[in-house]
């Protein structure tokens, strides 16, 4: 089971920055998950929200500013003074620091307009296409991504809600939709809906299973017992240490 750092080691460093990604490697994470959006000048940037308000205190829409403009923002100081000066990285910069034995999950936070740009970035010489996976909440976007990138694992992100005593969506519906869309895996919010039955059905449907955001040792051990393929966590070093006890 892989330990994947959620937006890098975001418990210690500002999320989706090169600092957080570097700390994840230092703490033995098997991979890193980052969020990406498209800038005004069609560069792929690692940032979660539609605006830079939470990260940098500037209510700038990511899609309305160029990479150069976005990289004038300090996205580290709000986390801690020691991270002052950290910038929003381009996907190219993240790929450049991806070690040969590590993985990168790229979560698409915008629409399908990012896909042609992503195709160009991953086609460049030296980019580690075999160690990259794509994920996202839009099944339409992820289905189109799978058609464009047949050799890259593509995961569908989904959440569950408890309604009238049952979890929704039902496991069977989730798995059928993912299979029909050509997905390679499911990336699910960790909760009581993830059971041995769901894990078994996903495996039977040839879908890998990834869970987020697992920040307690007890939950991590439960998910490991169910045989999930990866845990996505804000505390990669701590969770790995707890799992080895």
Mean pLDDT of 142-158: 97
- Could you tell me what percent of the chain has a pLDDT over 70? 100
More confident residue, 182 or 123: 182
Q: Which of 6, 65, 210, 235 is catalytic?
A: 6
Helix (H) or strand (E) holding 45: strand 44-46
CB 56 within 8 A of CB 70: no
Q: Which architecture does CATH list for 2-243?
A: Alpha-Beta Barrel (3.20)
Tell me whether residue 6 is one of the annotated catalytic residues.
Answer: yes
Q: What is the pLDDT of residue 69?
A: 98
Predicted TM-score (pTM) of this structure: 0.97
Residue 117 has pLDDT above 80, yes or no: yes
Helix (H) or strand (E) holding 218: helix 217-226
Binned at pLDDT 50, 70 and 90, residue 172 comes out as: very high
Binned at pLDDT 50, 70 and 90, residue 125 comes out as: confident
Mean pLDDT of 133-157: 97
Q: What is the pLDDT of residues 5-64, one digit of tens each?
A: 999 999 999 999 999 999 999 999 999 999 999 999 999 999 999 999 999 999 999 999
Q: What is the pLDDT of residues 55-80, one digit of tens each?
A: 999 999 999 999 999 999 999 999 99
Binned at pLDDT 50, 70 and 90, residue 127 comes out as: low
Among 130, 127, 93, 115, smallest CA distance to 8 is for 93
User: In 145-233, at which residue ranges do the beta strands (DSSP E only) sit?
Assistant: 154-158, 161-163, 166-168, 185-189, 208-212, 230-233
């Amino acid at each position: 089971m892989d330990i994947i750092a959620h937006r890098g080691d975001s418990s210690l460093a500002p999320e989706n920055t090169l600092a957080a990604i570097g700390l994840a490697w230092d703490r033995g994470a098997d991979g890193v998950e980052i969020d990406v959006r498209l800038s005004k000048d069609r560069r792929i940037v690692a940032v979660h929200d539609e605006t830079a308000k939470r990260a940098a205190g500037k209510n700038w829409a990511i899609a309305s500013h160029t990479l150069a403009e976005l990289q004038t923002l300090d996205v580290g100081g709000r986390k801690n003074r020691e991270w002052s000066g950290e910038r929003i990285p381009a996907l190219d910069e993240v790929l450049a620091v991806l070690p040969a034995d590590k993985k990168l999950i790229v979560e698409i936070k915008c629409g399908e307009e990012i896909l042609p740009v992503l195709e160009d970035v991953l086609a460049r010489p030296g980019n580690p296409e075999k160690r990259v996976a794509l994920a996202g909440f839009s099944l339409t976007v992820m289905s189109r991504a799978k058609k464009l990138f047949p050799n890259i694992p593509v995961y569908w992100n989904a959440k569950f809600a408890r309604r009238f005593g049952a979890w929704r969506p039902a496991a069977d519906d989730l798995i059928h939709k993912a299979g029909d869309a050509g997905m390679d895996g499911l990336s699910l919010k960790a909760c009581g809906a993830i059971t041995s039955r769901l894990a078994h059905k996903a495996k039977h449907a040839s879908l890998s299973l990834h869970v987020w955001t697992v920040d307690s040792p007890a939950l991590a051990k439960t998910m490991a017992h169910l045989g999930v393929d990866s845990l996505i966590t804000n505390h990669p070093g701590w969770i790995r240490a707890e799992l080895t006890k």
